[in-house]
């Protein structure tokens, strides 16, 4: 066995442990009885520590060194094939980061995260921010320690952002988001000057069972393989990867607003399609290369399928009749034009996951700014609810009636996932740029959607975005696929063209 084969073997063992932990994490969010939380926290803590030990064995560092991989030259020996060099780059980054974080710290944080998630779920249900505040403080403290372990010379938030989007910095994202916010606010002001869309029929009673049937229909037309995944119900929809052929999604059901489950299911299926399409080479399955390029690229898949495809006129020209049958009588007598405008209604609201395309990124920018302030210490945990409501008023002109619909609505901070939120808005930008790249390459994706040929879009994404996995950094991937760096103008132009049609300006 040569050095590269041995490195892949060690990497695969570590990822096997991570996969086992993912099964327990998925179970905690879906079927685990509430009283099991303390034991589950211990189980996950043990597995996190075991995985970390396997990711930091000295032999792994020796193999990387032997293959010529260093911090200055992470790709190793220039004579190696391109894919092998990409793997060494990814492994050098992962190994160097993992070896800087003590195993006992990993175990301690895993235990705290499990308890924090349970506390968040209860606090959200009971609208009780003070009960969650100590857990949030712990998550902040853990993240500051992670940043100090990884690079004490850099701003903590920059270190954490880089973990989700390699190369990202707070200043760089702030520059992109500042211009994007201005464009979105201008568009929102134009929309506010037009007669509002009537979406009252979307709030007609629609039983959970009917919505579940609609979800099954959506998964089928999106080519989400239920031999390699499944759909379950949770409070906060998510996707989890338990293996290369086991990628599961969840959704939620609101019987007075069925679009919530419809678009959550499409969104999570988009994530799953990406995971199931990663396949850089057979020898790299169950290795660090068999991972997403970045979380923003991951979100580009969910947002593209949910919005660019799932909220398009062409999609519903083809599928509305079947939905009217499945959700009867909720959509009786509703015309295509009325339905299309209703599902694309723009109206500032409290909940990020149910926000329209124009205001959605404003929710993300709000969270980006607040978590930067929390991490820097400029904002105290106990002051978060007031700061959240002030920022909602400033950005969206609305104030949540309670913390459950305000600062408690997202699961991410309870998981300790600081630095993740920008991925959602960046994902919108990537998705629009992929869509334009399809058109530049001679495809008409909108026409494909209208004739029911979603497979051609999925095939393009598989070949260009999914298959490489983590072989390229996100900035390199977007240049390879589209010929230029990430550019927000694609997304802004898409919104302007679409909503000029919806609102008639």
DSSP string, 47-67: HHHHHHHHHT-HHHHHHHHHT
Q: How many CB atoms lie within 10 A of CB 59?
A: 10
Domain that holds residue 19: 3-153
- Whether 250 and 114 map to the same domain: the answer is no
Average of pLDDT values for 151-163?
97
Q: Which of 153, 185, 201 is the last residue of a domain?
A: 153
Domain boundary among 102, 125, 153: 153
Q: Is residue 426 part of a domain?
A: yes
pLDDT the model gives residue 180: 95
**φ/ψ (deg, to 5) at 372:** -65, -40
111 and 205 belong to one structural domain = no
Cα angle, residue 299 at apex, residues 293 and 465 outer, rounded to 5°: 45
d(CA 51, CA 58): 14
State in Å, rounded, how far the first CA of the chain is from the last one: 66
Alpha-carbon span 150 to 86, nearest angstrom: 22
Annotation says 268 is catalytic:
yes
Answer yes or no: do 308 and 346 share one domain.
yes
Per-residue model confidence as pLDDT tens digits over 438-452: 999 999 999 999 999
CA–CA gap between residue 499 and residue 346 (Å, rounded): 9
pLDDT per residue as tens digits for the range 164-194: 999 999 999 999 999 999 999 999 999 999 9
43 and 100 share one domain: yes
Q: CB of 201 within 8 A of CB of 342? A: yes
**Secondary structure tally for the chain: helices H, strands E:** 20, 3
Q: Over 90: is that where the pLDDT of 500 sits? A: yes
pLDDT tens figures, 223-241: 999 999 999 999 889 999 9
Q: Token pair for residue 54? A: 């396997």
Separation CA 88–CA 83 (nearest Å)? 9
Contact 362, 395 (CB under 8 A): yes
CA distance 443 to 447: 9
pLDDT at residue 25 in the model:
93
Domain check: are 397 and 461 in the same one?
yes
Domain edge (last residue) among 118, 153, 188:
153
Contacts by 450-454 with C-beta closer than 8 Å and gap 24+? 450/313, 450/314, 450/315, 450/317, 450/318, 451/318, 452/221, 452/318, 454/221, 454/222, 454/223, 454/309
Residues 203-223: what's their mean pLDDT? 97
Judgement on whether residues 134 and 214 belong to the same structural domain of the protein: no
Burial class (CB in 10 A: 0-12, 13-18, 19+), 358: buried
State whether residue 349 is helix, strand or coil. Answer: coil
- The domain total for the chain is 2
Mean local confidence (pLDDT), 22-39? 94
**Residue 192 in tokens:** 């506010």
Same domain for 251 and 135 = no
For the beta carbon of residue 290, count every other beta carbon within 10 angstroms.
22
Mean pLDDT of the chain: 96
C-beta atoms surrounding 354 within 10 Å:
16
Residues 174, 144 share a domain: no
The one catalytic residue in 268, 306, 369, 371 is 268
Distance set, CA 342 to CA 4, 27, 142, 334, 369 (Å): 54, 35, 43, 10, 31
Cα–chain center distance at 60? 30
Measured distance CA(153)–CA(166) in Å, rounded: 17
- Phi, psi for 249 (deg, rounded to 5): -125, 160
Q: What is the pLDDT of residues 424-434, one digit of tens each?
A: 999 999 999 99
Residues 100 and 199 in one domain: no
pLDDT at residue 1 greater than cutoff 70: no
Q: Is the pLDDT of residue 60 over 70?
A: yes
Question: From CA 84, how far away is CA 93, in angstroms rounded?
Answer: 14
147/61 same-domain check:
yes
CA–CA dist 460, 464 (Å, integer): 6
Could you give the count of Cα atoms lying within 13 Å of 226 in the half-sphere of its Cβ? 12
Same domain (yes/no): 192, 125:
no
Render pLDDT for 64-79 as a digit per residue (tens, 0 to 9).
999 999 999 999 999 9
In our burial notation (b when 16+ CB lie closer than 10 A, e otherwise), range 310-340 reads bbbbbbbeebbeebbebbeebbeebeeeebb
């Amino acid at each position: 066995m040569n050095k590269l084969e041995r490195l892949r073997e060690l990497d695969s063992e570590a990822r096997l442990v991570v996969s086992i932990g993912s099964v327990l994490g998925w179970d905690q969010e879906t079927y685990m009885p509430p009283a099991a939380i303390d034991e589950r926290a211990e189980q996950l803590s043990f597995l996190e520590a075991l995985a970390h030990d396997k990711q930091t064995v000295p032999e792994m560092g020796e193999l990387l060194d032997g293959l010529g991989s260093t911090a200055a030259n992470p790709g190793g020996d220039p004579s190696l094939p391109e894919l092998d060099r990409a793997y060494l780059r990814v492994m050098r980054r992962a190994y160097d980061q993992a070896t800087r974080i003590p195993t006992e710290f990993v175990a301690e944080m895993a235990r705290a995260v499990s308890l924090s998630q349970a506390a968040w779920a209860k606090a959200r249900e009971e609208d009780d921010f003070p009960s969650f505040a100590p857990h949030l403080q712990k998550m902040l403290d853990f993240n500051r320690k992670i940043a100090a372990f990884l690079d004490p010379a850099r701003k903590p938030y920059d270190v954490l952002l880089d973990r989700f989007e390699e190369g990202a910095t707070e200043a760089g994202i702030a520059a992109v988001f500042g211009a994007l916010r201005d464009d979105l606010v201008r568009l929102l002001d134009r929309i506010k000057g037009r007669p509002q869309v009537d979406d009252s029929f979307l709030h007609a009673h629609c039983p959970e069972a009917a919505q579940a049937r609609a979800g099954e229909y959506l998964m089928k037309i999106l080519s989400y393989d239920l031999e390699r995944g499944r759909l379950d119900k949770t409070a906060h929809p998510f996707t989890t990867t338990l293996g290369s052929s086991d990628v599961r999604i969840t959704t939620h059901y609101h019987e007075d607003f069925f679009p919530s489950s419809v678009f959550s299911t499409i969104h999570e299926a988009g994530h799953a399609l990406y995971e199931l399409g990663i396949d850089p080479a057979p020898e790299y399955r169950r290795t660090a290369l068999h991972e997403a390029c970045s979380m923003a690229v991951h979100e580009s898949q969910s947002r593209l399928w949910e919005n660019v495809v799932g909220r398009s006129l062409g999609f519903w020209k083809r599928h509305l009749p079947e939905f009217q049958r499945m959700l009867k009588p909720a959509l009786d007598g509703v015309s295509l034009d009325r339905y299309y405008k209703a599902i694309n209604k723009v109206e500032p609201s409290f909940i990020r996951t149910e926000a329209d395309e124009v205001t959605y990124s404003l929710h993300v920018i709000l969270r980006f700014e607040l978590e930067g302030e929390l991490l820097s210490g400029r904002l105290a945990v106990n002051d978060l609810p007031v700061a959240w409501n002030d920022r909602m008023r400033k950005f969206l002109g609305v104030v949540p009636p309670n913390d459950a619909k305000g600062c408690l609505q997202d699961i991410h901070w309870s998981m300790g996932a600081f630095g993740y939120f920008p991925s959602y808005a960046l994902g919108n930008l990537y998705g629009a740029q992929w869509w334009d790249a399809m058109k530049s390459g001679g495809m008409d994706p909108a026409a494909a959607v209208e004739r029911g040929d979603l497979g051609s879009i999925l095939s393009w994404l598989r070949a260009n975005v999914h298959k490489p996995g983590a072989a390229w950094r996100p900035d390199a991937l977007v240049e390879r696929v589209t010929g230029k760096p990430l550019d927000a103008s694609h997304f802004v132009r898409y919104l302007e063209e679409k909503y000029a049609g919806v609102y008639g300006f």
